[in-house]
Amino acid sequence: MADAQSHLTVYRNVFLALLVLTVVTVAVAGLNVGTGAAVGIALLIAAFKGSLVANYFMHLATERKLIYMLLVLTVAFFLALMIIPLTDILTHVRQ
């Protein structure tokens, strides 16, 4: 019973953190900062919220290193798929 209570406490704390970060995201949207800064801040907050969800609700915090290596590989492929078209666009814009 104590083990279940500790899990519930962790889930409640993560939920509260996600709730606070959502409020922060909405508050940042109302700030008078540039579009690039607003998008950057929103993406940073979203990445932090995603890591909370992945670590606690998907139980990746207790997984082996192989899971993390696969996650890093996935992020690397994602970045490559975002950067390759961007470099093509930038070379056409400069001409």
> How far is 68 from 76, CA to CA, in rounded Å?
12
Predicted local distance difference test score (pLDDT) of residue 49? 94
Query: What are the tens digits of pLDDT across the range 4-28?
Result: 788 889 899 999 999 999 999 888 8
**Region 61-80: what's the mean pLDDT?**
85
> How far is 45 from 18, CA to CA, in rounded Å?
10
Predicted local distance difference test score (pLDDT) of residue 39? 84
**Region 72-89: what's the mean pLDDT?**
90
Predicted local distance difference test score (pLDDT) of residue 90? 78
Is 60's pLDDT higher than 80?
no
Is 34's pLDDT higher than 90?
no
First to last CA, the chain: 67
Cβ atoms 20, 45 nearer than 8 A: no
